[in-house]
Amino acid sequence: MCKKLTYKNILFLGDITGRLGRSVVRDLLEIIKNKNFKSKEIVELDADLEVLKNIDFYMANCENASGGFGLTKKNYEDLCDFGLQALTGGNHIWDKSEIYNYIHNATNIVCPINSSNKLPGLREQFFNIENYKLAVLSVLGRTFMPPVNSFWEILPEKIEKIKKVTPNILIDFHAEATAEKVCFARWASDMEVSCVLGTHTHVQTADEQIINNKTAYITDVGFCGAKNSIIGMDYESSYKKLSLGIASKNSVVKKGTALANGVIVTINMETGCAIKISRLKFIKKYNIEDNNMNKES
């Protein structure tokens, strides 16, 4: 299929969760880059293969990549080595204390714009896709979430400034409440943002759409991690925490069937208009713990 040169395909993967999440993302990216879609290792690959063969830019949410909470330096470097070019944060992005030491040099990570400015990390970043620029923002929701600054007040001025540089703007809207996500997307679309991709709930929704002939939207992209789990965590600890209402440390599931959820968005980079969004699901089994993956977390 002939592809217009001004159209670029962006793969965005949902919250990478723990070692199993890192393993499945590594293997999915290898399959995509080698166009090895008939590999016997694939249990399921549900995606638009025509666009999957032509990905121009790879990104993911990384807030849970190390043991389910935060991101170590080693794991940041691993995710970049796998081929991820941009990584968005979320409410857990600062959970591993070592991030305070390395984030100043971690130019692929974009942290939430409406969290306290006393926390380190870039709040916006421009990435090159051939001759075009893609601005990436991470925004935290405020409904059923820890308190953060009002994105309603911060974003309009910020987006106007970005539009002087590029019409291509992708926002990871990291939020819990569906109504807040849908309303945010409509509001951001009126400001001519190219993509609003929801994260945080770890469950993929089936409402992908183009709003106003401009903005690619999905309420939640889903996640990358253990398929048979409670959003990446083991059943026993989740049950104890939820049924008894007491603090119980969730532990991330490290082996078994892994799922990678994502979306592929096609943007006309001349206009900043998204023209297509489609969902991706990839499943692979890891019956023993992946010894090639570092065991830090």
- Which residues have a catalytic role annotated? 92
Is the CB of 112 or the CB of 167 nearer to Fe ion? 112
Give the CA distances from residue 150 to residues 45, 147, 191, 261, in Å, rounded to whole numbers and listed in that order: 39, 9, 17, 29
Is the CB of 64 or the CB of 266 nearer to Fe ion? 64
Q: At a CB cut-off of 8 Å and minimum separation 6, what does 175 contact?
A: 139, 140, 141, 142, 143, 145, 181, 184, 198, 200
Alpha-carbon span 204 to 71, nearest angstrom:
22
| Tokens of residue 160, six digits | 């106007």
Q: Give the shortest CB-157-to-Fe ion separation in angstroms.
A: 26
Beta-bridge partners for 126: 135
Q: Give the shortest CB-223-to-Fe ion separation in angstroms.
A: 7
Q: Which amino acid is at 297?
A: S
Q: Give the shortest CB-16-to-Fe ion separation in angstroms.
A: 9
Dihedral through CA 148, CA 265, CA 284, CA 292, nearest 10? -70
Is the CB of 68 or the CB of 272 nearer to Fe ion? 68
Beta-bridge partners for 169: 135
Residue that is written with structure tokens 């549900």 in the block: 46
- Give residue 278's region: left, alpha or beta (phi > 0; psi -120 to 50): beta
Q: Give the shortest CB-174-to-Fe ion separation in angstroms.
A: 6
Listed residue (91, 68, 45) closest to 230, CA to CA: 68
Is the CB of 9 or the CB of 64 nearer to Fe ion? 64
Interface ranges with Fe ion (CB under 5 A):
15, 64, 90-91, 200
Angle at 144 between CA 97 and CA 76, to 5 degrees: 30
Q: Of all residues in this chain, which one has the CB nearest to Fe ion in the complex?
A: 15
Angle at 219 between CA 215 and CA 224, to 5 degrees: 110
Contact predicate 17/226, CB 8 Å: yes
Q: Give the shortest CB-93-to-Fe ion separation in angstroms.
A: 9
Q: Give the shortest CB-40-to-Fe ion separation in angstroms.
A: 31
Beta-bridge partners for 45: 282
Q: At a CB cut-off of 8 Å and minimum separation 6, what does 2 contact?
A: none
